[in-house]
Amino acid sequence: MSGDDLDVLGALHDPVRRALYDFVAAQGREVGRDEAARAAGVSRTLAAFHLDKLVESGLLETGFRRLSGRAGPGSGRPAKVYRRSPVERQVSVPPRDYRTLALVLAEAVDALGAEEAAENAARRLGERAKAADLRETLGERGYEPYDEDGVVRLRNCPFHVLAEERPVLVCSLNLALCQGLLSALGDPRVSARLDPRPGECCVAFSKTNED
């Protein structure tokens, strides 16, 4: 475990700070102080204080933007905005390191040309999940699902580090895992497919019987 990461995550102990962080993270875009304050139910001054603490600890990033709806003369100076930092923090007590082992196994799959066997294993793992609701299951697994035009998209890739190292293998396994989850849910009207976007997870879910 990195002591630095534990210190950083300690910044989330305060409930207001935690609420502000969760809100900014869930938006997937830059968020202004007013909006964050309203969402957390606190004053703008208090929100600004905690948001800046989150920036200091490296959990949020900040910038200045003219917020939408205000443009041209009289729109004032740019407002301070916040977004989630892409830096990954990990704390495990006692120390655990599944990442290194996963990279070893990924390299072995590659060397063996065992992609199909690995995809089948991922699908079976998904099928064994105890899942009742798609959004809930995806949320629990860290995918951060959101709706867009009737499609369930995933804001976060839980396998990000591995997906950067071995994108084709990891995204294929992720798709197979998601297809397995769908089987466990037993809803044949929904299908999972690869539809990657920069900065998000590669899988999207859509209704299949609407054609």
Return residues touching other proteins (CB under 8 A): 86, 113, 115, 164-165, 167-168, 171-172, 175, 193-199, 202
Region at 145 (left for phi over 0; alpha for psi -120 to 50; beta for the rest): beta
Shorter beta-carbon distance to other proteins: residue 63 or 167: 167
Residues 182, 177: Cα–Cα separation, whole Å: 9
Task: Provide the minimum distance between the beta carbon of 93 and other proteins in the complex, in angstroms, as a whole number.
Answer: 28
Shorter beta-carbon distance to other proteins: residue 14 or 165: 165
Shorter beta-carbon distance to other proteins: residue 165 or 187: 165
Shorter beta-carbon distance to other proteins: residue 150 or 198: 198
Task: Provide the minimum distance between the beta carbon of 4 and other proteins in the complex, in angstroms, as a whole number.
Answer: 18
Cβ–Cβ < 8 Å for 160, 177: no
Shorter beta-carbon distance to other proteins: residue 73 or 198: 198
Residues 59, 89: Cα–Cα separation, whole Å: 9
Task: Provide the minimum distance between the beta carbon of 1 and other proteins in the complex, in angstroms, as a whole number.
Answer: 23
| Phi, then psi, of 147 in degrees rounded to 5 | -90, 140
Task: Provide the minimum distance between the beta carbon of 172 and other proteins in the complex, in angstroms, as a whole number.
Answer: 5
- Measured over the CA atoms of residue 59, residue 65, residue 66 and residue 68, the dihedral's sign is negative
Residue 128: which residues within 8 A CB-CB, separation 6 or more? Answer: 180, 184
**Amino acid identity of 49?**
F
Task: Provide the minimum distance between the beta carbon of 116 and other proteins in the complex, in angstroms, as a whole number.
Answer: 8
